[in-house]
Amino acid sequence: MSVAKLQTVDSHADAIPSDLASLEDWFDKRLDEKLAERESARTPSLAIIATKGTMDMAYPPFILATTAAALGWDASIFFTFYGLELLKKDLQIKVSPLGNPAMPMKMPFGPEWLQRINMPIPNLVAGNFPGFESFATTMMEQTVKAKGVPSIQELRNICIESEVRLVACQMTVDLFNYSQDEFIPEIAEWIGATSYLVEAKNADICLFV
């Protein structure tokens, strides 16, 4: 054995304690160090299940996914049921204030005091006023634009550019008689809930929207 190898062996022998108590402490310390190294080298992951197809409910999954991607995380969104509308080539999504008492209407223009006022719209008005859904959608679009928030189309494009995995629910496609040609080509997979739940189970964070 060479002198260099003998020195290496001697060095390791000196580093490892001989008594049992010290040896246990040494192993605990080494284990903590290795676990910390593994944790720092691991990439966090986010799995989102998107079930809604309205404009207001389209923002949370796309904003969360793009934010995670910007942090260097692995992010994916599973679009199922009405959430699948968010993957269509031709986005035709609207705000649906009916039955949503938590969503007040706010003016996207005018003096600041006016823009701060919450204007809750009764369901009776929202459900019976012709064209109210289109009006609410226009108001939301103007508010988003005035505040410099990206549109749903822009956020979806950012997701694609950031390599967020966009996953479509094949069962929903079959259920609603969709054709895959109706959807954007950047969809990573067409799978069922069983397949995606394996990914969601292993994610650090899983959200249902």
pLDDT tens-digit series, residues 72-120: 999 999 999 999 999 999 998 888 765 555 555 655 566 675 566 565 5
- What is the C-alpha to C-alpha distance for residues 61 and 164, in angstroms, rounded to an integer? 11
pLDDT tens-digit series, residues 123-161: 545 545 556 667 677 777 787 887 788 999 999 999 999
Helix (H) or strand (E) holding 8: helix 3-15
- Helix ranges restricted to H, 42-131: 55-70, 112-115, 123-128
**For residue 162, is pLDDT > 90?**
yes
**For residue 7, is pLDDT > 60?**
no
3-state helix vs strand vs coil in the chain, percent to 5: 55, 15, 35
Burial of residue 14 (number of CB atoms within 10 Å: 0-12, 13-18, 19+): exposed
**For residue 5, is pLDDT > 50?**
no
Residue 10, pLDDT score: 47
Burial of residue 122 (number of CB atoms within 10 Å: 0-12, 13-18, 19+): exposed
Strand, coil or helix: what is 49?
A: strand
Residue 140, pLDDT score: 77
Residue 24, pLDDT score: 72
Residue 6, pLDDT score: 42
pLDDT tens-digit series, residues 30-72: 777 776 776 666 799 999 999 999 988 999 999 999 999 999 9
Q: 45-208: what CATH class?
A: alpha beta
**For residue 29, is pLDDT > 90?**
no
- What is the C-alpha to C-alpha distance for residues 142 and 79, in angstroms, rounded to an integer? 26
Residue 203, pLDDT score: 95
Residue 63 or residue 6, greater confidence: 63
Residue 125, pLDDT score: 53
Tokens matching residue 171: 């069962």
| Least confident span in 19-33, 53-67, 174-188 | 19-33
